[in-house]
């Protein structure tokens, strides 16, 4: 009987460890959910990761507020320049402001962006996201994505 009880306790402890994700792991998983939805070119799944009153400013400066506008922005992008693009998270840092609020600093690579002339380019944006926890789930509250210009070329020799 003691063996059975010990085995049951061990099984409960192991399952708790396996299923208990830290908030940081949940946030990282949420960021990966966005990348996965992007790579499936599913603007609805992308937008549903936002809080109801969330907002977004993309690297081009386009703004969207609320899930419906965010979804429309993604639908427009995914039907045009980003139609065949892939999104890869190349680095991520999570900072907690409180138990229910965190900031993500994320580096990403968006490859295969279509130019009007048919060529493709790769963009390496830096993404700052504010995430809030509600109902046990982390939601994107605000995103600001930046694309930095390369440094200017050195002057030509005289």
Residue 113 is assigned to a structural domain of this protein:
yes
Would residue 118 count as lying in a domain? Answer: yes
Task: Name the strand (E) or helix (H) holding 47.
Answer: helix 43-47
pLDDT bracket for residue 3 (50, 70, 90): low
Q: How many domains does the chain have?
A: 1
Residue 106, domain member (yes or no):
yes
What are the φ/ψ torsions at residue 9 (nearest 5 degrees)? -60, -45
Rounded to the nearest integer, the mean pLDDT of the chain is 89
Identify the band that residue 64 occupies on the pLDDT scale cut at 50, 70 and 90: very high
**Residue 45 in this model has a pLDDT that exceeds 50:** yes
What pTM, to 2 d.p., does this model score?
Answer: 0.82
Relative to beta strand 50-57, strand 137-146 is parallel
Contacts of 121 (CB under 8 A, 6+ apart): 113, 115
Give the span between the Cα atoms of 46 and 41, in whole angstroms: 9
Instruction: List phi, psi (to 5°) of 48.
Output: -70, 0
78 part of a folded domain: yes
Q: Is residue 92 part of a domain?
A: yes
- Residue 99 is classified by DSSP as T
20 pLDDT band, cuts 50/70/90, is low
Report, as an integer, the average pLDDT of 22-35.
98
In a domain, 14, yes or no: no
Nearest Cα to Cα of residue 101 among 59, 130, 60: 130
CATH number for position 107:
3.10.450.50
Write out pLDDT tens, residues 46-59: 999 999 999 999 99
* Domain coverage including residue 44: 21-146
Is 151 among the domain residues? no
pLDDT above 90 coverage of the chain, percent: 79
For 14-42, the DSSP string reads HHHHHH---HHHHHHHHHHHHHHHHHTT-
* pLDDT number for residue 156: 79
66: left (phi over 0), alpha (psi -120 to 50) or beta: left
């Amino acid at each position: 009987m003691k063996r059975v009880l010990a085995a049951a306790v061990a099984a409960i402890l192991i399952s708790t460890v396996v299923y208990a994700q830290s908030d940081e792991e949940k946030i990282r998983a949420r960021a990966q959910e966005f990348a996965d939805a992007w790579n499936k070119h599913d603007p609805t799944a992308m937008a549903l990761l936002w809080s109801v009153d969330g907002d977004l400013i993309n690297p081009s400066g386009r703004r969207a507020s609320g899930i419906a506008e965010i979804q429309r922005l993604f639908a427009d992008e995914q039907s045009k320049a980003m139609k065949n693009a892939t999104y890869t998270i190349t680095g991520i840092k999570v900072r907690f402001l409180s138990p229910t609020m965190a900031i993500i600093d994320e580096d990403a690579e968006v490859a295969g962006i279509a130019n009007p002339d048919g060529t493709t380019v790769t963009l390496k944006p830096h993404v700052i996201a504010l995430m809030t926890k509600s109902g046990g789930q982390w939601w994107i509250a605000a995103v600001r994505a930046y694309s930095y210009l390369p440094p200017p070329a050195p002057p030509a020799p005289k």
